[in-house]
Each structure stands twice: as structure tokens, then as C-alpha cells.
A and B are shown apart, each in its own frame.
Chain A
Amino acid sequence: MQAKTTAVEAVQQASRRVEVAGVPGTAVMSGLRAVAADVESVQLLSPEGERVEHPRFALDISAEELRGLYRDMVLVRRFDREGNALQRQGQLSLWAPLLGQEAAQVGSGRAMRPRDVAFPSYREHGVAWCRGVDPTELLSLFRGTEHCGWDPRATGFWPYTIVIGNQVLNATGYAMGQRLDGALGHDHDADSGEATVVYFGDGATSQGDVHEGMVFAASFDAPIVFFCQNNQWAISHPVERQSRVPLYRRASGYGFPGIRVDGNDVLAVLAVTRWALQECRSGNGPVMIEAFTYRMDAHTTSDDPSRYRLADEQEAWKLLDPIERVRVHLSRTGQADREFFDQVDRDADELAARFRAHCLTLADPPLERIYSHVFVEPTEQLERQLADDRRFVALDEAVPMNVSTQGGHR
């Protein structure tokens, strides 16, 4: 027994050495992992709220636009916190918090134009906001009254995808369709063309679907931005378990550009995503963006991160807060005053109240929902099963004190 395990241990130790000696920004095993994007990363606004110039990604942004981004992030954070609270109070069965990822989501969401389409995973409440999905429409999935509460086509925001990686292939196919349709832009018209953005996590990069999506997108020059939010964790697995190299470098293996951006810097995310989308719209896709950020809360409300990560790490990332740096910048440069900040806070409270009130009004779906939209037309078999179920519901209503049931009473 000893000999066998020693060999395995040797491999294990060797692999740990690789992790420890690895590339900048990926390798920290001693508890406090990399807190900042490394030097390769694009940053336009420092954590202290100072504008930083970048040779490739200049951004001219008006005071109004900047205030808009601030407002977006504050409102998104506010309803996200409300989602957590609603779950704690038993009104939602689950919530997947985005805390800490506001800049990555709002920056990329605001870089999109109406014709562009976003394929999210399940945490992209901030992107949903930017696409015009009303936050209340996010609730039904987490309350268990629906699988998707918004109109994917009207918003250009596809349904949340819980099966890790699935949406990357679907988004790639959509982008292939955009190209086949001749929907790419023209040189003489900067506003023409459309592209697709697909969101996925650091953990997702290990899935075959993500690999295949990148292969297909490269093969067919698909106008798609692979937007990876590296929040450092896939439930309890640190990103080092998924990759030896910074994730954005994977793009070069597929033959398209990959860029790492400070995911807590809304300006950098906006500038880089705008550039990437323009590349895609003008036929130079795909592009991969790795937004280097941090999951400040639990994976979901069902998760207990104290079992696998140190609170120190979260404390360190607090100093890099995506909202605070914009706030500091806005006040220091006189682009916003007290009144503005107060107004945003009031708007956020109002939104949270509306979000909560709406949640409480969401009724359980009727029996018929079980059978609707399975096929375009209901089949005879499903109609028979529905009729049979109706008989039971009627029975239950006629005899309210029915025998106690296990796992529901169908």
C-alpha cells in the first residue's frame, strides 16, 4: 500500500509545485490568493479611483455616462442583496449572488448595442439589467414558479443556463448564424453589424462545450465575444484547479485574441468589450475576454464558503471594490455631488422595494403549466395525462383532508 500511494503523492506534489511556481496572477496557495489582476491586465480606473491611461484602450467617457455606470452598479448590487434576503426569508428557493462582479457585468452589458445578443450562465443579473430585463423578471426562476421569466428575443438576453458550459456552443451557433445572415458590419458605417457575447465562469472553461465552442468559433470566424468572469472560484474549487495558465491565454491556442481586464474596473471592462464587439462586428471575431474579479459572496444561498476559503481573501478583495472606486473618482473630479449619490441610493431602495413586492405576488403556476410548451402542439398523450391530473386536483379540492402524502400529492 505504501509504495502505491507514494507514487501518487509524488505526482501530487509535483503538480503542486507547478501551481506555486506558476505564472503571475494564478499562483498563490497559502490562503491569500492573488488579489489583483497581474500586469498583463487592462485597467483604466485604479482601485483608488485614479484614471489610468492604457496604450491600446483609450476611453473617452462623459460625466453623464460615468454617472450612469455608477447608478447601474449600485442598483444592481441593491437588488442582488435583496435576492439574498428574499431567499433567507423563504420567498426564493435559491439566489445566485453577483456581489463583487458588478463592474464585469455592467461594463460588458453597456458595451452591447440593442442588436447584439447575450447568452448568460446564471449569475448575470447585471447584464440582464443592461439588456432591459426588468429585475423582477429574474425572480420566477429562483422562486420556482417558472424556468425563465423574460422574453429572450425581445431583450436579446437568452435564458439562464445552469448546465455549465452548454450556452457557449449555443451562442457560437447563434454567432455563426449572424455571419451566415450577412449581419456583420460595413467599413463605411460604424453603427452597422451585430455580434454575440457569451458569459461563463472560470470553472466552466474546463468543460468540453467551452472548448468546442472556441474551436467552432475560430473555424467559422464567428462574431462572438467569449466573456469569462474569472471570480477565482467554482463553488469550492480555486481557479488553479482548472488551468495552469491565466485563462485569457487559452485564446491564443485557438488562434484568436485573448485579453485580461481588471474585472472590478467598469471603465476597462467597457472599453475592452466595446473593442471586442467592434472587432467581431467587423468580421475579426472571435475574441476572448477574461474579467479578473472575485465572488464576494457564497456560490449560491445554499453554499457555505467558510468550509473552503479564508475570510482574509475576501477582505483583501474588498479594497478593490468595483463601485467604491467609481464613487471616489466621481466625487474627486467633481463629476457628481452629494445630491446625485443620495438620489441613486433612493432609486436603489425603491427598486429593491419593488423587487421584493413583486416577488411576494408571484403565484404558484397552475397544473396546466406542467404540460404547456412541451411540443408546439399538445400531443394526445399529454392531454390524457393532463386530464388525469385534473381529476386529482378536483379530488383534492373535494376532500381537503386527504391522506397525508409524501413528496406532494399528485
Chain B
Amino acid sequence: MTSIVTAGDPQSDVAPSTFAKALNDALRTAMERDDRVLVLGEDVGRLGGVFRVTDGLQKDFGEHRVIDTPLAESGIIGTAVGLAYRGYRPVTEIQFDGFVWPGFDQIVSQVAKVSYRSQGKLRVPMVIRVPYGGGIGAVEHHSESPESIFCHVAGIRVVSPATPQDGYDMLLEAIACDDPVVFFEPKRRYWEKAPVQRDTRSSGSVPTTFSSLVRRAGSDVTVVTYGPSVKTVLAAAEAAAADDVAVEVIDLRTLSPLDLGPVLESVRHTGRLVVVSEAPLEASITSEVAARVTEEAFYSLAAPVQRVGGSDTPYPPSRVEPLYLPGVDRVLDAIDRVLDS
């Protein structure tokens, strides 16, 4: 894909930043670069968002660019489509994963299809930011992982960063992207800190961040994951290394369309694959990866693909989420299984 990003002077600012702050910086950078970038959502203005991702933006860019909308997700996404028709680049915020559904109709029927329906004469470059995933001890509807449902919809890109740096880079790329992007933010990682290099993609043509990335090299087993589970899987890889098992960890980053090149390449040398996500397993990204690898690299596989995920139930009351969320030992168990067979 193309990512046209024009930038000011590259800075080498590598101060540690929280995930939330990295996203905030990306929004600020995008708004400074292009005055057609708008932020819309509930409580994004004065409050700065319930996770403070839009903190300070209204103060600096004004109420006409950082817009506290009426309380209606179909309204937020549907009007963003119209604003995009008019040449704006709306970045919409959905407050929590469980509240995206009133806007789902607009996503499926308009956002995803209008380019196709108009033979490309109409485009809706817009971003739909959704904090997602569990692990924060929240009440119901605040901990869901609905990303697979969006991947089933053709015409929208679905991406999820796993680190503050990717949060920054991928949000900039999402805003610059001419396709609509659903941007899933792993909310339980919002307060984790890491150095963030600003303006890394500032000059000319840079590699896309909407691509799978090898986060850790290894020769025994390939573990594919994304979003909030990347950190869990890296911890499992570390634990496995103590047992002399070399795990290769791949962060998908783009969930739709998938970038399976690095996965296939990895499986061709490890011969073993585990796919990890905290979303329910049925008809999910984990099933898609397993199916596609089986189709394209069956003869490289030394063992059946193993999947680790949430159970096929609604998200449970938060006091049982430690049992529900796939943790390190689940991942290690799956690694054992692909190694044993």
C-alpha cells in the first residue's frame, strides 16, 4: 500500500512515552500537518477522552477540529463519512469496544462499500479508533475483542499496534491512508511506557507499518499474535528460551488484509505454528491464519497448528478474567503441544 506522509523536520525524540501519549502525539502531528484532519467522538474534547488519548487537542486545535459529538455512534461514524466526502480526514473515537455496534451499520454499509459501489469515485479516508481487549477489571461491554468481526467485512483495513512506537507510527499511517481504517488499540497497554521515535516515517517513501513484523527470531516454533497478546507471547518466548526452545514471535499488526509473507517464511523454517489472541476462537483471526498457513505451507508443517484464544463465550465478569485471558502458561502449553507431536 502507499503511505504518503509529508513531514516537517525529523526530530530524534526518544523520550519514554506511554502508549496513550504516543497516540496523542500522532494525532497532534497529523493535525499539525493537515488541517483537514478532524477528531470526533464522545468526551474527546474538554475531557480529553476517557483514556486521555485526545488530551489537550481541543485546547490547541479548537472545538471545530476536535469535536465532542452528541451521544450516538452511528452518528459519529455516519457523519464522518460525509465529512470525508467533503475532503476532511476524520479520526473518530469509539469510547470502548462494546460501544461500536450502534455504528456498525454505517461501517459495513457505507464506510466499507462506498469505494466499491462508486467504482472508486468516492473514497472515505477515515479512521475509527477503538480501545479493545480485556485485563482492566472493567464491567461488561468494556473488555471485548471484536476485531475478527471487522476483518470479515471487505473494504476496511483493520490494524492493531502492540507497542507505543507502533501506536505512533501506525496511527499516522492510518490517518494518511486513503482507505478507511479500523484502528484497534490494546487498552490494557495504554499506560505502558517505551521510547518513541517521533517522525520516523518522515522522508519520502517509507516501509508500511501495516505489515507483519518478526519481534523475536527463533528456529523451533513460530508464534503469531497481535495487539495486547504480543507482550504475553514475548514473555512466553523468554520462558521457553530457558528450556532451550527458540520461539520466533510474529506480530501481525495488520489484521485485514493479513500480511502472511513473514508468517509463511517463518513456518517454512520452524515447521511449527501457534496462533495466539484473546478473542474468541470461532471464525476468528486465529482460524484465518491457521487455515491460510495450512493451505499454503502444509508440507512445511511438522505438527498440527495450535491456537490459543478466549473461549467461545461472552466476556465473563471481570473477577474471572485471570482465568479467561490467555496467559503465558497457555502459550507455553501450546508450544509444548506443537513440539511434542
A residues contacting B by CB (< 8 A) are: 1, 4-5, 8-9, 11-12, 93-94, 140-147, 162-165, 203-204, 206-209, 234-237, 241-242, 302, 307-308, 364-367, 369-371, 374, 381-382, 385-386, 389, 392-393, 395-396, 402-410
Q: Are B64 and A407 in contact (CB under 8 A)?
A: no
In the bound complex, what is the Cα–Cα distance between A165 and B102 (angstroms)?
10
Q: Are A410 and B140 in contact (CB under 8 A)?
A: no
Hey, which chain A residues are within 8 Å of B102, CB to CB? 163, 165, 207-209
In the bound complex, what is the Cα–Cα distance between A409 and B332 (angstroms)?
11
Query: A211 CB to closest chain B CB, in angstroms?
Result: 9
Hey, which chain A residues are within 8 Å of B326, CB to CB? 407, 410
A162-B139, A163-B101, A370-B313 are contacts. A410–B324 as well, Cβ < 8 Å? yes
Q: Are B47 and A307 in contact (CB under 8 A)?
A: yes
Hey, which chain A residues are within 8 Å of B46, CB to CB? 236, 307-308
29 contacts between A and B (CB under 8 A): A5-B35, A11-B64, A140-B317, A141-B140, A143-B319, A144-B318, A162-B98, A165-B102, A207-B72, A235-B47, A236-B46, A236-B47, A241-B68, A364-B319, A370-B316, A371-B311, A385-B311, A389-B323, A392-B323, A406-B327, A406-B328, A407-B134, A407-B188, A407-B322, A407-B327, A409-B328, A410-B323, A410-B326, A410-B330
Hey, which chain B residues are within 8 Å of A141, CB to CB? 139-140
Candidates A208, A235, A369, A382; contact of B317 at CB < 8 Å = A369
Of B109-117, B151-159, B231-239, B256-264, the one contacting chain A is B231-239
Hey, which chain B residues are within 8 Å of A408, CB to CB? 135, 321-325, 327
Q: Does B294 contact A (CB under 8 A)?
A: no
Hey, which chain B residues are within 8 Å of A241, CB to CB? 68-70
For the complex of A and B, 10 pairs with smallest distance between CB atoms: A408-B322, A144-B318, A405-B327, A206-B70, A236-B47, A409-B327, A203-B71, A407-B135, A364-B319, A408-B325
Q: Are B328 and A367 in contact (CB under 8 A)?
A: no
Hey, which chain B residues are within 8 Å of A381, CB to CB? 282, 312
Q: Are A237 and B139 in contact (CB under 8 A)?
A: no
Q: Are B47 and A403 in contact (CB under 8 A)?
A: no
A93-B137, A209-B102 are contacts. A410–B319 as well, Cβ < 8 Å? no
Q: Chain B: interface residue count, which band?
A: 35 or more
Hey, which chain B residues are within 8 Å of A367, CB to CB? 320, 323
Q: Are A382 and B43 in contact (CB under 8 A)?
A: no
B residues contacting A by CB (< 8 A) are: 35-36, 42-43, 45-48, 50, 62-65, 68-72, 74-75, 98-99, 101-102, 134-135, 137-142, 188, 228, 231-232, 235, 239, 278, 282, 311-314, 316-330, 332-333
Q: Are A385 and B321 in contact (CB under 8 A)?
A: no
Hey, which chain A residues are within 8 Å of B35, CB to CB? 1, 4-5
Hey, which chain B residues are within 8 Å of A236, CB to CB? 43, 45-47, 68
In the bound complex, what is the Cα–Cα distance between A386 and B48 (angstroms)?
41
Most buried by A among B228, B311, B312: B311
A370-B313, A389-B311 are contacts. A144–B42 as well, Cβ < 8 Å? no
Question: Which chain A residue has the least Cβ–Cβ distance from B137?
Answer: A93
Most buried by B among A140, A164, A374: A164
Q: Are A12 and B64 in contact (CB under 8 A)?
A: yes
Hey, which chain A residues are within 8 Å of B45, CB to CB? 236
A207-B71, A382-B313, A407-B325 are contacts. A93–B318 as well, Cβ < 8 Å? yes
Most buried by A among B134, B239, B319: B319
Hey, which chain A residues are within 8 Å of B142, CB to CB? 162
Candidates A12, A365, A392, A396; contact of B319 at CB < 8 Å = A365
Q: Are A94 and B138 in contact (CB under 8 A)?
A: yes
